[in-house]
Amino acid sequence: MISAPVSKALNKQIELEGSSSQFYLAMASWAETQGLNGIAAFLYQHADEERMHMLKLIRFVNERGGHGVIPMLKQPPVTFKSVKSVFEEILKHEIRVTAEINGLVDATLKVKDYTTHNFLQWYVSEQIEEEALARQIVDKLKLIGDDKGGLYFFDRDLEQLSKTEASGEGNEA
Ligand code: FEO
- Write the CATH number for 94: 1.20.1260.10
Is residue 49's pLDDT more than 50? Answer: yes
- pLDDT score recorded for residue 122: 98
What residue owns the CA closest to ligand 1's atom 1?
Answer: 50
Is residue 40 in some structural domain?
yes
171 in any annotated domain: no
Q: Looking at residue 172, what is its pLDDT?
A: 45
**Pocket flag, ligand 1, residue 21 (CB < 6 Å):** no
Q: Report how far residue 74's alpha carbon sits from residue 21's, in angstroms, rounded to the nearest whole number.
A: 12
Question: What separation in angstroms does the CA of 148 have from each of 27, 37, 141, 151, 152?
Answer: 20, 15, 11, 5, 6
pTM score: 0.93
Q: Which residues constitute the domain of residue 26?
A: 4-166
- For residue 65, what pLDDT is reported? 97
- CA of 60 from ligand 1 middle (Å) equals 16
pLDDT of residue 169: 61
Average pLDDT of the residues of the chain: 95
Each residue's pLDDT tens digit, 7-37: 999 999 999 999 999 999 999 999 999 999 9
- Whether 89 lines ligand 1, by a CB cut-off of 6 Å, is no
Q: How confident is the model at residue 173 (pLDDT cuts 50, 70, 90)?
A: very low
How many domains does the chain fold into? 1
Structural domain includes residue 173: no
